[in-house]
């Protein structure tokens, strides 16, 4: 590390968001980067300027962080137990709380104790809820209404972090992204690309909802902005690409980026929801058919920030990475 430069530490450094953030911060001329992960394997940062790599183990309430955090100026916390569609834990809420609340607060308390100036917490739009009314996007000031254990754990962590900030003076910045996509995306988004690439007809050609998404490059750009922006201190922000589209439109744009013909069957939404209910897939149908919009006007105005990538640019980068992987 260069002693004269501020140090930005990033947890979850080999995760989807953390990896992209480390690679971006390594290009910044005015910071050194500490990339923290739970395992020694994964992405190596030895070739990146000013990046030190440290593995510390699983995020927990008993982890000893002080030797790692000493000298850190800003801590960006991306590590978490993430939402899963079919959780097999006996008590999911307790399991999420152990990592996302107790583990996070153990980290945050020790960060405050060693003099970390700012704690940037990557939360989730699930703190707001699961679905918005038409043309009624979520705002940062809405009363939180999380539904599932993941969202509840993120809300509890947010509340505890705000209390810690008030008690210690360590600045806390909270970001709530919706679905994040981009090169290397996994889970359902990757599955959709695979189906579309293979030309599998999907019954999703008549969905007229509105949903917010955020490209990984846009999220990382906002995180970098929040590292040192004075107006970000002790604020909560929503983030998106700035354009809300339907599930049908999303799939059509992915097909276009893939160079594939449209194979979306216009099945009525009520029929999709009824079929999903019969199959026990209500959550999936809500994700496909429901509205989930976020209002980023506070983020734009207070931070003078705009998404650098459009939806089409973000999807193009995502698809190009996917196609490049197929050729290897």
Token code pair at residue 66: 């002080």
Q: CB 35: neighbour CB atoms within 10 A?
A: 28
b vs e for 186-224, b when ≥16 Cβ sit within 10 Å of the residue's Cβ? eeebeebbebbbeeeebebbbbebbbbbbbbbbbbbbbb
Task: Indicate which residue of 45, 138, 150, 181 is catalytic.
Answer: 150
SS3 144: coil
* Residue the block writes with tokens 């981009």: 182
SS3 291: coil
Q: How far apart are CA 256 and CA 203, in angstroms?
A: 18
* 163, HSE (Cβ side, Cα atoms, 13 Å): 8
b vs e for 99-121, b when ≥16 Cβ sit within 10 Å of the residue's Cβ? bbbbbbbbbbebbbeeebbbbbb
Q: How far apart are CA 109 and CA 246, in angstroms?
A: 41
Token code pair at residue 121: 């917490």
Q: How far apart are CA 191 and CA 318, in angstroms?
A: 13
Q: How far apart are CA 225 and CA 280, in angstroms?
A: 42
138 is known as an active-site residue: no
Q: How far apart are CA 96 and CA 102, in angstroms?
A: 9
Q: How far apart are CA 69 and CA 254, in angstroms?
A: 41
What does each C-alpha distance from 267 to 105, 118, 279, 306 come to in angstroms? 46, 49, 17, 36
Q: What is the set of active-site residues?
A: 150
């Amino acid at each position: 590390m260069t002693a004269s430069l501020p140090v930005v530490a990033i947890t979850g450094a080999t995760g989807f968001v953390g990896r992209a953030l480390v690679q971006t911060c390594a290009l910044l001329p005015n910071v050194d980067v500490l990339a923290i992960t739970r395992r020694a394997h994964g992405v190596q940062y030895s070739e990146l300027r000013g990046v030190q790599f440290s593995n510390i183990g699983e995020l927990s309430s008993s982890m000893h962080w002080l030797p790692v955090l000493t000298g850190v100026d800003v801590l960006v916390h991306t590590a978490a137990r993430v939402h899963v569609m079919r959780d097999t834990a006996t008590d999911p809420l307790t399991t999420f709380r152990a990592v996302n609340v107790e583990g996070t607060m153990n980290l945050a308390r020790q960060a405050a104790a060693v003099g970390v100036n700012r704690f940037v917490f990557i939360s989730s739009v699930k703190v707001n809820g699961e679905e918005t009314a038409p043309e009624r996007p979520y705002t940062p000031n809405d009363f939180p209404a999380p539904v599932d254990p993941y969202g509840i754990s993120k809300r509890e962590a947010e509340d505890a972090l705000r209390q810690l900030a008030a008690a210690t003076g360590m600045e806390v910045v909270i970001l709530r992204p919706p679905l994040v996509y981009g090169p290397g995306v996994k889970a359902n988004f990757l599955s959709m690309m695979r189906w579309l690439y293979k030309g599998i007809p999907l019954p999703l050609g008549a969905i007229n909802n509105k949903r917010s998404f955020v490209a990984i490059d846009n999220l990382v750009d906002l995180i970098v902005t929040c590292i040192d922006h004075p107006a970000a201190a002790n604020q909560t922000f929503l983030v998106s690409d700035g354009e809300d589209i339907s599930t049908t439109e999303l799939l059509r744009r992915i097909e276009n980026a893939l160079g594939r013909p449209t194979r979306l069957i216009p099945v009525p939404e009520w029929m999709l929801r009824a079929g999903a209910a019969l199959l026990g897939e209500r959550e999936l149908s809500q994700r496909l058919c429901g509205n989930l919009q976020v209002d980023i006007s506070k983020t734009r105005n207070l931070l003078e920030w705009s998404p650098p990538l459009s939806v089409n640019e973000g999807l193009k980068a995502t698809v190009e990475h996917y196609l490049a992987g197929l050729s290897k």
